[in-house]
Chains A and B, each alone.
Chain A
Amino acid sequence: MLELNDLEHDALIEIFNIGTGQAAAVLSQMMGDHIELSVPAVCFVSRLTAASELTADAGKRICGVSQRFQGAFNADAILMFPENQSLEIVRLLVGGDIPLDELTAMEQEALSEIGNIILNALIGTLANLLGWEFSCSLPIYHFGTSGEILHTEAKPETDLVMLLHIGLRLERHQINGYVAFLLDLSSLQGLREGIGRFLGGITG
């Protein structure tokens, strides 16, 4: 398997730290709350294991928005929130004056737009930092367990991906979410070349 050495691993974490910081700044503007971020974690796992890494309770239902990014490497980017907090997120986005039935009616669309903005902020920052260009699919709304969202039922245990995930928390509203990137291992060489250019820019 193509592994990253320590320096490449550190650079990858730093690149995603910068990108996630930008995405958190955007989310903070949208939600009017401070966003706490966890340290990004990266691992090479099967999709099945990735699903269990993302939530302490793999059977718990969550709302997610995913987009496929294609360019120097291909990745699925996913923003996830617990099911019971999704309406509160929509309310924070559109304001408090909307009746509950209308809020519920626009839940999927509002979460898709939040995902679109956050995931584009992250991938756009990475692209600008590394001189890459990505095309992105339209956001897709998901509802289910993390396993269902990552389509683990359709993938064998040996289908390895690079999982990079970051926890986020809206401080005042106590809402927890995750941003995750899943890269097919076939895309790892492209990522590694980008990391090499990033490191070359630092070390001259």
Chain B
Amino acid sequence: MNKTLLIVDDSRVSRMMIRNLVAERKPGWQIIEAASGEEAITQTVENMPDCVTMDINMPGMDGLTAAAQIKKTCPKVRIVLLSANIQESSLLRARQIGVDFVAKPITAASIDKVIAYCERP
């Protein structure tokens, strides 16, 4: 089934790489983007994506805070943290707020993991 994916990352290059890799694998998916945690919350409320990829280290609201807020208001949205921050403390916080974690770099393998999380029943 086709899904709507929201890519949240302050790096335009990262958003472009995620978009390209997802589009190659899932050409029917609608892809939207946000460049900050605040924008991610707005986009989620307005567009109700099925899945969100969320960077952690961003200017303004960080990805963990944004993910926690989205989970509160839109608990059905699946969120995958896609971040270079591989500290166990970050992984622990991801588990605490009920979101998945995939480590950067953005490669075919890491995007396959993201898609698998998004499609998990």
Interface residues of A (CB under 8 A from B): 26, 29-30, 93-94, 106, 109-110, 112-113, 116-117, 120-121, 123-125, 127-128, 133-134, 136, 138
Contact = CB atoms under 8 A, between A and B. Distances in A.
A136 B16 CA distance: 24
Given A113-B11, A127-B88, 8 more contacts: A26-B104, A29-B105, A93-B13, A93-B17, A109-B12, A120-B86, A125-B86, A128-B88
Given A30-B105, A124-B86, A128-B86, A94 B17 contact: yes
Contacts of A26: 104-105
Contacts of A127: 87-89
Contacts of B88: 127-128
Interface of B: 10-14, 16-17, 57-59, 83-89, 104-105, 107
B57 A121 contact: no
A136 B11 contact: no
B36 to A, nearest CB: 12
Contacts of B17: 93-94
A109 B35 CA distance: 13
Contact of B11 (A109, A120, A128): A109
A29 B107 contact: yes
Main secondary structure on B side of the interface with A: loop
B87 A112 contact: no
Contact of A106 (B13, B57, B87, B89): B13
A106 B107 CA distance: 18
Nearest to A127: B87
Nearest to B59: A138
Contacts of A120: 57, 83-86, 104
A117 B89 contact: no
B11 A124 contact: no
A70 to B, nearest CB: 13
B96 to A, nearest CB: 14
Contacts of B105: 26, 29-30, 117
5 contacts: A93-B13, A106-B12, A120-B85, A127-B88, A138-B57
Nearest to A107: B13
Nearest to B92: A133
Contact of B84 (A94, A109, A116, A134): A116
Nearest to A106: B13
By Cβ-Cβ distance, the 7 closest A-B pairs, closest first, are A120-B84, A124-B86, A117-B84, A133-B89, A30-B105, A110-B13, A113-B11
Contacts of B107: 29-30
B57 A116 contact: yes
A121 B16 contact: no
